[in-house]
Amino acid sequence: AAFWARDSFLWSFPALLLVDKNRARQALLVGVTHYLRHVGEHALYLNGTVLYPGFELDEVCAPLLALEHYLLVTKDSVILEHPRVREALSYLLGIINSRKHAEVDLYSTFLLPTDDPATYPFVTYDNILVWKALLILAEIWQLLGKSSLAAKLRGQAEVVQQAVWEHCVTDGPQGPMFAWAVDLAGNVELRDEPPGSLTLLPYYGFCETSHPVYENTVRRIYSRANPYFFQGHFPGVGSAHFSHPSTFDLCNRLLSGRGKEVLPLLRSAPLDQGLACESFDPETGIVRTGAAFASCAGFLAFALTEFLSVLHHDI
């Protein structure tokens, strides 16, 4: 067993919060105390020491997104009085700031959301999480009466947003689109990874699903131009890490306005004998990698619940 901040906070935690708010609170506190010191490292032993080294920017942002989600659902602002929570807020911001480019308001990573090494260090999805994390920190410090710090963080988030639009949008086959990653020296990478997808930008509030740049990005991801878009009876997007359609892609579609196309697939795909898995065969729907993937199951349960709640509201 091991601890990944991304798996725990972005995928498992939202599902845990659906079923047991008290346990979710406990998990959040353990995450920002026991695992705080090495939170940005690839994977940790259960005692909090480093199992696999390698900096992952999304894993530093993950506890802050989980904290915001917890506050929105429970209204339990008392958790912010916990001294280790306040310590975590400052500690996480310090790590984020240490990854900033010297001149441009973008932040670097070593490993990607698939845990593979990044070709270019400034990953668009990761920088969206930085933008979101800064806004969350601003709101929390505002609640705690630190208005000047909150204003500074909102300003920092704004310049990150501007930097993404300036440096992470490039020409694509359909027109301007989000690059997967850039090196700030003129090189860009066009691809996507389901565990940290560009399709989730509207879910995080960065842009609307109707924005032309986003639409062009999605068109490329779900087209023959993407070597990891797989057609078949169970179509979907994979990655270099797993060259088959991914259950994470199903989650992303559920959270980004494309859930209706996912429901028939979920009803008929065997996956791992009914359990969520990392990827599945495009023709049979049977597990290919990542069998019995617990944190993926949590993310799928949450995404499906979110989609169905929106669907019922619209009806």
pLDDT along the chain (315 residues), means of 10: 96 98 97 95 97 98 98 97 95 98 99 98 99 99 97 99 99 96 98 98 98 98 96 97 97 96 96 97 98 97 94 62
Provide the residue range defining the domain that includes 120.
Answer: 5-226
Tokens of 52: 């696999």
Report the CATH number at residue 193.
1.50.10.10
Same domain flag for 215 and 289 = no
Locus of tokens 């994979």: 238
Same domain flag for 107 and 232 = no
Q: Are 107 and 126 in contact (CB under 8 A)?
A: yes
Same domain flag for 55 and 198 = yes
Same domain flag for 87 and 220 = yes
d(CA 212, CA 45): 43
Supply the pLDDT for residue 1: 81
Q: How many domains does the chain have?
A: 2
Locus of tokens 């001149």: 103
Single out the residue in 169, 202, 226 at which a domain terminates. Answer: 226
What single-letter DSSP state applies at residue 115?
S
Same domain flag for 38 and 124 = yes
Beta strands 169-172; 41-44: pairing state: unpaired
Tokens of 142: 């505002």
Same domain flag for 22 and 77 = yes
Q: What is the pTM of this model?
A: 0.96
Supply the pLDDT for residue 312: 66
**What is the chain's alpha carbon radius of gyration, rounded to the nearest angstrom?**
19
Question: Which residue from 296, 306, 52 is spatially nearest to 194, judged by alpha carbons?
Answer: 296
Percent of the chain scoring above 90 in pLDDT? 97
Same domain flag for 260 and 124 = no
Same domain flag for 71 and 100 = yes
Supply the pLDDT for residue 168: 99
The helix/strand/coil state of 61 is helix
Single out the residue in 186, 207, 226 at which a domain terminates. Answer: 226
Supply the pLDDT for residue 310: 80
Q: Which residues pair with 230 in a beta bridge?
A: 236
Supply the pLDDT for residue 163: 99
Same domain flag for 241 and 205 = no
Q: Please give the torsion angle defined by the CA atoms of residues 71, 297, 207 and 189, in that order, rounded to the nearest 10 degrees.
A: 130
Q: How long a stretch of residues is the chain?
A: 315
- Which residues contact residue 187 at a Cβ distance below 8 angstroms, ignoring those fewer than 6 apart? 120
C-alpha distance across the termini of the chain, in Å: 43
Single out the residue in 226, 243, 270 at which a domain terminates. Answer: 226
Same domain flag for 185 and 60 = yes
Same domain flag for 14 and 139 = yes
Tokens of 60: 């530093």
Tokens of 199: 């399709």
Supply the pLDDT for residue 87: 96
Same domain flag for 203 and 244 = no
d(CA 278, CA 11): 13
d(CA 21, CA 36): 21
Supply the pLDDT for residue 315: 47
